[in-house]
Amino acid sequence: MTTWQLPARLEQCLIFESNYEVAVAHDGLEALEQCLDWKPHCIVTDLIMPWMNGYQVMRCLNAASLHARPAFVIMSALTQLEVPWNRSYMRGNQVAYVDKPFNIDHLLSAIEQVCLNRA
């Protein structure tokens, strides 16, 4: 799993609460580079990030024709009514949304949901 723009405390919670292997990137470009090398099962991303937003990362990973697409958990303070469901890069991806502010149990539940649906 890759997490972006998350405070160290949240990274520690993901590792401690779920025993996930977690990698952190500080912007969308760094995240994309890590994903191409690491190939995570699930990507937890903020929607608004420097250099590339969460949807742009998703679109680039789809274009990369990866053998197995990762699932996505997108965290955002924006309303889900703004989700671009009709875009081609959304089709075929397991995506869950977590509204900000959120609690760790809701985030863990979203991660579990998209990973189960991906399998």
Residue 46, strand partner residues: 75
The pLDDT > 90 percentage for the chain reads 5
- pLDDT tens for 56-77 read 888 888 887 767 788 889 888 8
Q: Note the pLDDT of residue 99.
A: 85
- Is the confidence at residue 6, as pLDDT, over 70? no
Q: Note the pLDDT of residue 68.
A: 76
Which residues 6+ apart lie within 8 Å of 84 measured at CB?
55, 90
CATH code for the domain in which residue 84 is found: 3.40.50.2300
- Total domains present in the chain: 1
Note down the domain range covering 32: 2-118
* Alpha carbon distance 24, 34 (integer Å): 9
54, 79, 93, 99, 113 from 82: Cα distances, Å? 13, 6, 17, 12, 22
Q: Which two tokens stand for residue 22?
A: 């977690």
Residue 82's pLDDT band (cuts 50, 70, 90): low
Strands 95-99 and 2-4: unpaired
